[in-house]
Chains A and B, each alone.
Chain A
Amino acid sequence: DAGVIQSPRHEVTEMGQEVTLRCKPISGHDYLFWYRQTMMRGLELLIYFNNNVPIDDSGMPEDRFSAKMPNASFSTLKIQPSEPRDSAVYFCASSVGTEAFFGQGTRLTVV
């Protein structure tokens, strides 16, 4: 398996634009997590899914953020409209059982 795949690896966008981050989990994994990493706040959980169903989205900062998992092999995290304070590295992770595996992350810069 190629591991957790995220795209794009880097995204630079202007304030106010819509941004969509994508994640393909490891096949057979039933949990999918979206994290955000910044220097100030470290790794923060945004939302996670179990069997494609959102379980906890309490970490989503505000209504500008939304996440979907239409099937077991794909998830998106959308920010609309984007703001400079959304600049961070966004990680997707998946797990089955107990161990988590992370993607390489998407570095988002909002100017």
Chain B
Amino acid sequence: KQEVTQIPAALSVPEGENLVLNCSFTDSAIYNLQWFRQDPGKGLTSLLLIQSSQREQTSGRLNASLDKSSGRSTLYIAASQPGDSATYLCAVRSHGQNFVFGPGTRLSVLP
């Protein structure tokens, strides 16, 4: 059974810092990994999708990497801004086609 963990559980940084969020999964036989953002009381917004054959994906100040063999992914946020404050979730899609989510990292970027 696929299990997904995320470290740290919470993170508070001053504006302008670069930061890394970590996601680990136990079964490396995945189709893809997706990073989401969730604002309080809101739904999930897709940030980046990495296919199992890819090593990384970039969108603006966000960069996500995938090391399938070691069961890890990182989300790198450059030059963080207060508007980046949210909970970040990673989800792994396996052969059963369903998505398994990590518990999330709650990020606060202080002005």
Interface string of A44-67 (1 = CB under 8 A from B): 010010100001100000000000
In this complex, how many residues of chain A approach chain B with their Cβ under 8 Å: the count is 21
Q: Is the CB of A105 within 8 A of B43?
A: yes
Given A42-B103, A99-B34: A31 in contact with B97 (beta carbons within 8 A): yes
Query: Which residues from chain A contact B44 at a C-beta distance below 8 Å?
Result: 91, 93, 102
Chain B proximity mask over A30-52: 1 for CB below 8 Å, otherwise 0:
01010100000011010010100
Residue of A56, A103, A104 touching B98 (CB-CB under 8 A) = A56
Q: Does A71 contact B (CB under 8 A)?
A: no
Is A42 within 8 A of B104, CB to CB?
Answer: yes
User: How many residues belonging to B are interface residues under a CB distance threshold of 8 Å?
Assistant: 24
> Which residues of B sit under 8 angstroms from A111, Cβ to Cβ?
none
Most chain A CB atoms below 10 A, which of B51, B99, B101: B99
Q: Check A99 against B98 for contact (C-beta < 8 Å).
A: no
Q: Which chain B positions have C-beta within 8 A of A56?
A: 96, 98
| Known contacts A98-B31, A101-B46, A102-B43; A45/B93 CB under 8 A | no
Pairwise interchain contact B99-A98, C-beta atoms closer than 8 A: no
Please, how many angstroms separate the alpha-carbon atoms of A21 and B31 in the complex?
Answer: 29
Q: Is there an interface contact between A100 and B43, defined as CB atoms closer than 8 Å?
A: no
* Complex CA distance for A48 and B45, rounded to whole angstroms: 19
The CB with the most chain B CB atoms within 10 A, among A91, A98, A99, A107, is that of A98
Q: Which residue of B lies closest to A3 (CB)?
A: B43
In the complex, 25 of the A-B residue pairs with CB atoms within 8 angstroms, ordered by the A residue number, are A31-B97, A33-B99, A35-B101, A42-B103, A45-B98, A45-B100, A48-B97, A56-B96, A56-B98, A91-B43, A91-B44, A93-B44, A98-B49, A98-B93, A99-B34, A99-B46, A99-B49, A100-B46, A100-B93, A100-B99, A102-B46, A103-B43, A104-B43, A105-B42, A105-B43
Q: Which residues in A have some Cβ–Cβ distance to B below 8 Å?
A: 31, 33, 35, 42-43, 45, 48, 50, 55-56, 91, 93, 98-105, 107
